[in-house]
Chain A
Amino acid sequence: MKKNLSCWLAICLTLLCLMSVTSEVFAQNEIRVQGTVTNNKGEPLKGVTLIIQKLHGGAVTDINGKFVIDKVNPTALLEVSFLGMVTKIVEIDNQTNLNIVLEEKMDELEDVTVVAFSTQKKESVIGAITTVKPSELRVPASNLTTALAGRVAGMISYQQSGEPGQDNASFFIRGITSFGAESKKDPLILIDNVELSTADLARLNVDDIASFSIMKDATATALYGARGANGVILVMTKEGVEGKSKMNLRIENSWSSPTKNIELSDPVTYMRLGNEAVATRDPLSELPYSVERIAMTERGLYPDLYPQTDWQSMLLDPVTQNQRVNTSLSGGGKVARYFVAGSLTRDNGNLKVDQRNNFNSNIKLDKYTLRSNVNINLTKTTEAILRMSGSFDDYKGPLFGGADVYHKVLQTNPVYFKPYYEPDADHTSTRHILFGNYGKGEYLNPYAELLKGYKDYSKTMMAAQIELKQDLNSVVDGLSARLLFNTNRFSEFDVVRQYNPFFYSISDKNFDRITEDYKLLKLNPQGGSEWIDYKSDYRYITKTTYLETALNFNKRIYEKNNVSGLLVYTMREYLATNNDNDLQKSLPSRNMGLSGRFTYNYDSRYFVETNFGYNGSERFSSKHRFGFFPSFGLAWLVSNERFFEGAKNIISTLKLRGTYGLVGNEQIGSADDRFYYLSRVNMNDGGRAARFGKDLSYVVNGVTTLRYANPNIGWEIAYKSNAAVELSLNNGLTMIADFFKEKRKNILLSRVMPGAVGIEPEVRANLGEAQSQGFDVELNYQHYVNKDWWITGRGTFTFARSLVNKWEEPDYSNTPWRSRVRQPIAQVWGYVAERLFIDDYEVKNSPVQFGEYMAGDIKYRDINNDGKISDLDIVPIGHPTTPEINYGFGVSTGYKKWDFSIFFQGSARQSFWVDLSRVAPFVNITDGATGSNALLSHIADNYWAEDNRNVYAFWPRLSNTFVDNNMRTSTWYMNDASFIRLKSAEIGYSFPSEILKRVKMENLRIYASGMNLAVFSPFKMWDPEMAGNGLGYPVQRVINLGVNVNF
């Protein structure tokens, strides 16, 4: 620690040495000055203050913007300032009549790029930082993460669920380069400089965002040392701007429906194939559906006795509506500026609600957010910023979530019983719903499952932040300091209420075929209850405190030399409850670090930057606690060279830049395994008890070693290099292309411990190495055809491929195809399926496979030719399970008051495997009840049958149980997940300002937009982006109407 402190002091002293102070004194005759102050539209400004610098006196403009100052030094400087306008210094220079034009203050972030802990002029940025205009991220959804795919160069993103509250997209910067089982792979997310979670990012309201940057290479992220290895997303929220108060209001209503519905076969086909599934495996066994049942069902007779339930339409609504309202108010004066925003969104699930239940078991997720950013000028050189934000999620929904309802719908028999029965004579006064069931009531009835109870959950996130900025020009010219303190409190709990449904059935005996009257049979008279019970089970509370102090130096020396320096010291603590009574988990997580940056540029042509992060984490033994992560970068702004003058009329900017450096990752194990340098033991393990004594009653519990101490475990380190070209043409086209290569070392992985070593728990060590490489390109185009018509275009393309370089693995020298080395990190190994077996003769004369199998089952290739299909025959198959390519492109255009935009997004080089346990028809995978997987039309239309021996059919020989042989991961069920989709489209109309002025509005725009409108993909069964999760809660297509008003 002493090292830290001395380092800090040394840098301070250096900065002090650079101090230079100049002062000049003037003395001249005095004159009278008068004039007008206007804005850039020529409108006079009233109340503008003019102050004579370094002397006393001044004036204020009148209603016509006029002013008069007597007795003023003819060489004096006038400081002209007005609310919301850029303060201007005017030299009198012996003029007696001055016409001063003030410019409106623009958003400060236009010309600069947000970099780690600071901002830099765009031209001087060397690191790979993508900035996205917040408006680019606006989609008609209440989840910001769903907008990222294809819009951010360098990001790989995909979304696998459309369920409200569970619909966060996964996203990775330049792919995944770590393969540690539980190590952090997704980027560090910073909102207003504070580390937060994906969920917090998801909740952010686009209208509140001032800047959104993604930091990708070592130079950009090195300052975050310990935590930046997977890239950084830095979001800054808006601040109030000096000026009159402005209000922004946006209201949206959207209609949401699945992008694609799962198609099922009809109940009669279900029964026929259900019989076939049983008979084809064992001709002697009893068939589940009688000829009579099939015939009756087909003719639609006696629907109470022979029901056909379409569980999808019974439980799922095709369309649901969601609402979003958000508003913000900003403005301020010389002393204080404010930005206050609030939003309210309601997302409904598309589950059906039964009116007879007085509670609603559909998903209803209400999110509220409140944000207030206040900037106060404490003194001329001191600014304080207070940021408070809160977000609140209130959820009401089915007991086990929406995806579970979708799963259950596809696990239920469609013909055995109705979802519920109308009361018969005996049950006219029954107060509960008469749910249908079969047998002894052990069958799955998803309708009862949905209606039997509901869950509430609540999540609250509160953040309070104070930031002090001190201008230290008076100490050293160009020096400033900053201090930031932040604390977050998060809490979450859920509450569950449910009853046990009563089940009823109708049997042939109790059914009158003439009157169609029936008598219901109560299947579980003891098992049900009419009343609701309460159950509370989950609580999760966390707190985070964060402190950041920084010293910033920025100076131009001798005109052409620009230097800047930055030193940041950070401390962060995170403390959370854990639900499994674990001591080591209960200890706080802490980080601390000192980071620095030094930049220099000569004449805005040659740029040098070096960064370092010196970071410590509580996770490692004192030997490995601190890591040093330096980085270095160079850039050349070619277009500022004199020799480039000739090309300037075509190319406005050409910049070449490159960086190299190290970044660390401390989050390398699971939360249970934070302290690898300590052993972890269960000192009182009943599972290891020994029993002794005359009465066999003296029992002494044993000790289980859950982890052996390993003080050598340390940081995962990324060695990142990046090279890029930035090009802007005068015709409005700009391009940024980054090429990157990264080596990741010290990846934590489990050692291969032979059993004979006698080590019980898994042993981890920093033994893995990986690399990734690729490129990301961003293209922008902006063109004004004429004063009424503009066009912009934008495209991004990201390719990132990660390979394992080193892995401690068993000796695969005899079966090299099993080795993970030089294979993509997300590679899947499986069998090569050749086709289905033609007949039993072929089965007998082929290498031995798994379990019992026959003609029409999958035939695998014997890779090592040993006459049997075993683990030794699995080879890498397909593309990785995360896409290697993400891209997006779109255009926006405006004509007069109309605007229109469209955006396509795609992903490629990804494989996925159908979740066989859910797709396999007729099989029961339900926990605690008898279910029967639905029959997908895709299977019913294309399966191997004894009378249709198609050896390339999609589905092998049917079965009503899992056929081990066919359940293996193989190329048979491998699918190409690549797709391109019409991600969004929007059309809007802004009302003319003449009309709006009358109602005192500044801007009024109405618009219609859509999301996930169409998808093009080789895979047809469900939305390809859901990949293996296809039978879950589907990704949603949204049609949206909105209005946006500014006052």
Chain B
Amino acid sequence: MKIKNKFFAILLFSTLGYSCNYLDVVPDNVATIDHAFSDRYTAETFLSNCYWYLPSSANPNSNPAYMGSGEFMHHQARWQTSMLIARGSQTAATHLNNMWGGGNGGKKLWDGINNCNVFLENIHKVKDLTPAEMRRWIAEVRFLKAFYHFYLLRYYGPIHILDASSDISQGTDIIRQERIPVDETFEYIVGLLDEIIAEESLPDIINNTREEMGRITQPIAMAIRAKILVTWASPLFNGNTDYANFKDSQGRNFFSQQVNPDLWSRAAEACKAAIDECHLAGHALFTANDLTTNYILSNDGKIQMAYRSGITERWNHEVIWGNSQSLIDGTTQGNMIPHLEQVDEEHSRGWYSPTINVAELYYTENGVPINEDKTGIFDYADRYKIKKNTIGWKTYNINNQEETASLNYFRENRFYASLGFDRGRWYNYIGHNNWEKSDGNAPTIQARYNEYSSMYNPDNYSTTGYFVKKMFSVNSGFSEKHRFSAEAYPFPEMRMSDLYLLYAEALNESQVAPNQEVFRWIDMVRSRAGLRGVVESWRDYSTNANKPHTKQGMREIIQRERNIELALESENFWDARRWKTAIREYNTALKGWNVLRNNIQEYYEVQVLFNQKFSHKDYFAPIPENEIIKNPKLVQNPGW
């Protein structure tokens, strides 16, 4: 009996024996954030994370600037988020392309910044990175952090600085941050970039091209710093008295009320430094001389192909920063090109529709605005009338005996390189039926209703009668009748002509009157497009010959040059805002041809497709309403 009791007692107590570690069920090596920094391989995945937040510039549903400027139209069935912004559908309650809290096509950039902070705070734990490599990665991530701040600043106006990783157990008071004056944020961003650039940890040129093309380089950092400084110096941010009553809780103005001219000089210096660095690294404009094709091209054709190549050829030397996180891929290019012959094929959809407004932007053959050309080659008053190419004018642009609007004749090469239109040619290095052999053989678009380039599916047609040729890669096309082959390329965030024009602008603004140095940089861009310099062109062809010689006149010329050179590249959206010209430019009727008509007379009737609306509030996106509810310290932007 006693023995049994003892046995029982032992049994009882033995259960307690092995309980010490009973609750430690988690084995070692469960993946936690620390593991992301255990070696070079995993740290690279975290580096990916930091890059992942780069804007999806090539996606019209994610990039507000893509169609938000009104350069494109599209028919109603294609509701692209950025198009909705152009149409005035932005609201604080349903924030389109929400980069603040994420959603409606927007990536949540604050998360991107916090990821960068986590990276920067942990990367030193990685043991198998060489010091040089570690310095380079740190510089890249700091660049990204600065860039994300800049993107938010440019989009929303005042923000705050998120310089260290957030702690999830912080009290409500700390996590509810106030917005701060824009100058402080600009100073922070530029300071960060100054440090990165000064320490020269970034490569000038990518050596390991197989794995690293697309990573941040010294030229990128310097060119973006230049763009940021130009943005800061621009009227939207520099002494913007429209926001005199827009203040933080301490009564400080979010926007400076005094124009600071030094910002322009600082911008000009940064542009020059960037240009020099880019040249050293081998970046230059892509000119006709850089073409390597054996096909037979007219001189104009060469200029057009060089211009297109500088944008669309993968990793060409003109592109300073190709955003490899966002590609202009086959699908996107299929949305640009229409059918070029009678064929039952659904890859070429051609519904990105540039407006007549953009078509009218380009210069005449003489390199001056269509309403200023005094030579008479371009009949401004009758520009919407139909004209037949009876004289054999540049048949590589419009074939002999074809009829199209007068607007489409006698235009500069960038017009033909950028836009496709009814009875215009579409040349690419890829083609069949000997299309590719010479630009004189290039197929003709036939876009009147029921013709092969018109509506294929109910959703697939250009609603304006224009097509985007510019962003369509020179190396894409129809290799056979039914085979559409496209070369994807990284979205060009920054290219040389952009930088030159920024420099010209900064110089012009920082001086009393334009000088040769201003003309030099804009003329380089014009010259690549086959145009003469500003001074000569205006002198010889314009009704306003003296325009280049005043600061104001030159400002307008530079702005128009930018609008043309960078058209359809998501630049106009930001430029029109920083120049504060949007209120003028964006309250206009967006126009197109009457594309649902077959009869030529009816087809070439101008249709108002939409009356674009822009009010003062639209200079900045609204802070999402739910963010203000979550953080009542956030002051909403005026007007929203």
A, B bound = yes
Q: A497 in the interface, Cβ–Cβ < 8 Å?
A: no
Identify 12 new A-B residue pairs, CB closer than 8 A, beyond the known A690-B52, A754-B631.
A571-B22, A584-B30, A618-B25, A696-B214, A698-B212, A703-B33, A705-B33, A754-B175, A755-B102, A757-B162, A760-B111, A810-B631
Known: A694-B315, A810-B630. A4 touches B214 (CB 8 A): no
User: For chain B residues 2-60, which have a beta carbon within 8 Å of chain A?
Assistant: 2, 4-5, 8-9, 11-12, 15-16, 19-20, 22-27, 30-33, 35-36, 42, 44-49, 51-52
Among B165-173, B286-294, B403-411, B456-464, which stretch is in contact with chain A? B165-173
Q: Does A694 contact B210, Cβ atoms closer than 8 Å?
A: yes
Q: A508 in the interface, Cβ–Cβ < 8 Å?
A: no
Q: A684 in the interface, Cβ–Cβ < 8 Å?
A: yes
Q: Does A871 contact B93, Cβ atoms closer than 8 Å?
A: yes
Q: Does B48 contact A756, Cβ atoms closer than 8 Å?
A: no
Q: Does A759 contact B168, Cβ atoms closer than 8 Å?
A: yes
The CA-CA distance from A698 to B325 in the complex, in Å, is 11
Q: A702 in the interface, Cβ–Cβ < 8 Å?
A: yes
The CA-CA distance from A712 to B166 in the complex, in Å, is 16
Q: Does A483 contact B12, Cβ atoms closer than 8 Å?
A: yes
Known: A569-B16, A592-B23. A759 touches B45 (CB 8 A): no
Q: Does A758 contact B5, Cβ atoms closer than 8 Å?
A: no
Q: Name the residue of chain B whose CB is nearest to the CB of A697.
A: B210
Q: Does B177 contact A754, Cβ atoms closer than 8 Å?
A: yes
Could you tell me the distance in whole angstroms from the C-beta of A854 to the nearest C-beta in chain B? Answer: 21
Q: Which residues of A contact B26 (CB under 8 A)?
A: 584, 587, 618, 675, 678
Q: Does A693 contact B110, Cβ atoms closer than 8 Å?
A: no
Could you tell me the distance in whole angstroms from the C-beta of B83 to the nearest C-beta in chain A? Answer: 19
Q: Name the residue of chain B whose CB is nearest to the CB of A485.
A: B15
**A483, A708, A870 — most chain B CB neighbours (10 Å):** A708
Q: Does B23 contact A757, Cβ atoms closer than 8 Å?
A: no
Q: Does A758 contact B169, Cβ atoms closer than 8 Å?
A: no
Can you report 15 A-B residue pairs in the complex whose CB atoms are below 8 A from each other? A381-B1, A382-B4, A468-B11, A549-B15, A678-B32, A690-B48, A691-B325, A703-B42, A703-B48, A751-B168, A756-B159, A757-B110, A758-B108, A760-B114, A765-B168
The CA-CA distance from A689 to B45 in the complex, in Å, is 8
Identify which of B19, B110, B117, B162 contacts A592 (C-beta below 8 A): B19
Q: Which residues of B contact A763 (CB under 8 A)?
A: 168
User: For chain B residues 163-217, which have a beta carbon within 8 Å of chain A?
Assistant: 165-166, 168-169, 172, 175-177, 209-215
User: For chain A residues 779-824, which have a beta carbon within 8 Å of chain B?
Assistant: 808, 810-813
Q: Name the residue of chain B whose CB is nearest to the CB of A470.
A: B8
Known: A379-B4, A681-B36, A693-B212. A755 touches B12 (CB 8 A): no
The CA-CA distance from A763 to B44 in the complex, in Å, is 26
Q: Does A700 contact B93, Cβ atoms closer than 8 Å?
A: no
Q: Does A588 contact B25, Cβ atoms closer than 8 Å?
A: yes
Q: Does A688 contact B108, Cβ atoms closer than 8 Å?
A: no
**B2, B15, B23, B213 — most chain A CB neighbours (10 Å):** B23
Tally A residues with Cβ within 8 Å of B: 76
Please name the 9 residue pairs, one residue from A and one from B, whose CB atoms are nearest each other, closest first. Answer: A758-B114, A755-B101, A690-B48, A758-B110, A754-B631, A690-B51, A811-B632, A702-B49, A702-B48
User: For chain B residues 514-553, which have a beta carbon within 8 Å of chain A?
Assistant: none
Q: Does B48 contact A689, Cβ atoms closer than 8 Å?
A: yes
Q: A514 in the interface, Cβ–Cβ < 8 Å?
A: no
Tally B residues with Cβ within 8 Å of A: 79
The CA-CA distance from A711 to B189 in the complex, in Å, is 34
Q: Name the residue of chain B whose CB is nearest to the CB of A701.
A: B45
Q: A683 in the interface, Cβ–Cβ < 8 Å?
A: yes
Q: Which residues of B contact A755 (CB under 8 A)?
A: 100-102, 108, 110, 624, 627, 630
Q: Which residues of B contact A106 (CB under 8 A)?
A: none
Q: B314 in the interface, Cβ–Cβ < 8 Å?
A: yes
Q: Does B325 contact A690, Cβ atoms closer than 8 Å?
A: yes
Q: B419 in the interface, Cβ–Cβ < 8 Å?
A: no
Q: Which residues of B contact A753 (CB under 8 A)?
A: 168, 175, 630
Q: Which residues of B contact A690 (CB under 8 A)?
A: 47-49, 51-52, 324-325
Q: B226 in the interface, Cβ–Cβ < 8 Å?
A: no
Q: Does A616 contact B110, Cβ atoms closer than 8 Å?
A: no
Q: Does A702 contact B209, Cβ atoms closer than 8 Å?
A: no
Q: B490 in the interface, Cβ–Cβ < 8 Å?
A: yes
Q: Does B175 contact A5, Cβ atoms closer than 8 Å?
A: no
Q: Which residues of B contact A710 (CB under 8 A)?
A: 168-169
Q: Which residues of A contact B65 (CB under 8 A)?
A: none
Could you tell me the distance in whole angstroms from the C-beta of B9 to the nearest C-beta in chain A? Answer: 8
Q: Which residues of B contact A481 (CB under 8 A)?
A: 8-9, 12
Q: Does B209 contact A694, Cβ atoms closer than 8 Å?
A: yes
Q: A325 in the interface, Cβ–Cβ < 8 Å?
A: no
Q: B629 in the interface, Cβ–Cβ < 8 Å?
A: yes
Q: Which residues of B contact A759 (CB under 8 A)?
A: 111, 114, 166, 168
Could you tell me the distance in whole angstroms from the C-beta of A830 to the nearest C-beta in chain B? Answer: 17
**B48, B102, B488 — most chain A CB neighbours (10 Å):** B48
Q: Does B162 contact A698, Cβ atoms closer than 8 Å?
A: no
Identify which of A5, A684, A696, A700 contacts B490 (C-beta below 8 A): A696
Q: B75 in the interface, Cβ–Cβ < 8 Å?
A: no
Q: Does B30 contact A583, Cβ atoms closer than 8 Å?
A: yes
Q: Does A808 contact B172, Cβ atoms closer than 8 Å?
A: yes
Q: Does B47 contact A757, Cβ atoms closer than 8 Å?
A: no
The CA-CA distance from A695 to B24 in the complex, in Å, is 48
Known: A4-B19, A583-B30. A696 touches B5 (CB 8 A): no
Identify which of A379, A569, A702, A812 contacts B46 (C-beta below 8 A): A702
User: For chain A residues 662-682, which have a beta carbon within 8 Å of chain B?
Assistant: 675, 678-681
Q: B113 in the interface, Cβ–Cβ < 8 Å?
A: yes
A689-728 interface code vs B (CB 8 A; 1 in, 0 out): 1111111101011111100111010000000000000000
Q: A457 in the interface, Cβ–Cβ < 8 Å?
A: no
Q: A590 in the interface, Cβ–Cβ < 8 Å?
A: yes
Known: A693-B210, A702-B46, A708-B168. A757 touches B20 (CB 8 A): no
User: For chain A residues 813-841, which have a beta carbon within 8 Å of chain B?
Assistant: 813
The CA-CA distance from A583 to B26 in the complex, in Å, is 10
Identify which of A696, A712, A813 contacts B314 (C-beta below 8 A): A696
Q: Which residues of B contact A587 (CB under 8 A)?
A: 25-27
Known: A590-B25, A754-B630, A759-B111. A692 touches B30 (CB 8 A): no
Identify which of B27, B175, B324, B632 contacts A757 (C-beta below 8 A): B175
Could you tell me the distance in whole angstroms from the C-beta of B454 to the nearest C-beta in chain A? Answer: 24
User: For chain A residues 617-671, which have a beta carbon within 8 Å of chain B?
Assistant: 617-618, 625
The CA-CA distance from A448 to B52 in the complex, in Å, is 46
Could you tell me the distance in whole angstroms from the C-beta of B637 to the nearest C-beta in chain A? Answer: 14
Could you tell me the distance in whole angstroms from the C-beta of A660 to the nearest C-beta in chain B? Answer: 29
Q: Name the residue of chain A whose CB is nearest to the CB of B108.
A: A755
Could you tell me the distance in whole angstroms from the C-beta of A7 to the nearest C-beta in chain B? Answer: 11
Q: Does B177 contact A756, Cβ atoms closer than 8 Å?
A: yes
Identify which of B16, B209, B629 contacts A810 (C-beta below 8 A): B629
Could you tell me the distance in whole angstroms from the C-beta of B173 to the nearest C-beta in chain A? Answer: 12
Identify which of A470, A583, A696, A751 contacts B31 (C-beta below 8 A): A583
Q: Does B631 contact A683, Cβ atoms closer than 8 Å?
A: no
Q: Does A695 contact B210, Cβ atoms closer than 8 Å?
A: yes
Q: Does A679 contact B210, Cβ atoms closer than 8 Å?
A: no
Known: A679-B32, A765-B169. A689 touches B52 (CB 8 A): yes
Identify which of A547, A551, A692 contacts B212 (C-beta below 8 A): A692
Q: Name the residue of chain A whose CB is nearest to the CB of B93.
A: A870
Q: B583 in the interface, Cβ–Cβ < 8 Å?
A: no
Identify which of B45, B160, B213 contacts A683 (C-beta below 8 A): B45
Known: A470-B8, A694-B209, A709-B33. A618 touches B23 (CB 8 A): yes
Q: A100 in the interface, Cβ–Cβ < 8 Å?
A: no
Q: Which residues of A contact B324 (CB under 8 A)?
A: 690-693, 696
Q: Does A756 contact B627, Cβ atoms closer than 8 Å?
A: yes
Q: Which residues of A contact B627 (CB under 8 A)?
A: 754-756
Q: Name the residue of chain B whose CB is nearest to the CB of A755.
A: B101
Q: B327 in the interface, Cβ–Cβ < 8 Å?
A: yes
Identify which of A8, A472, A683, A696 contacts B36 (C-beta below 8 A): A683
Q: Which residues of B contact A472 (CB under 8 A)?
A: 5
Known: A754-B175, A755-B110. A683 touches B31 (CB 8 A): yes
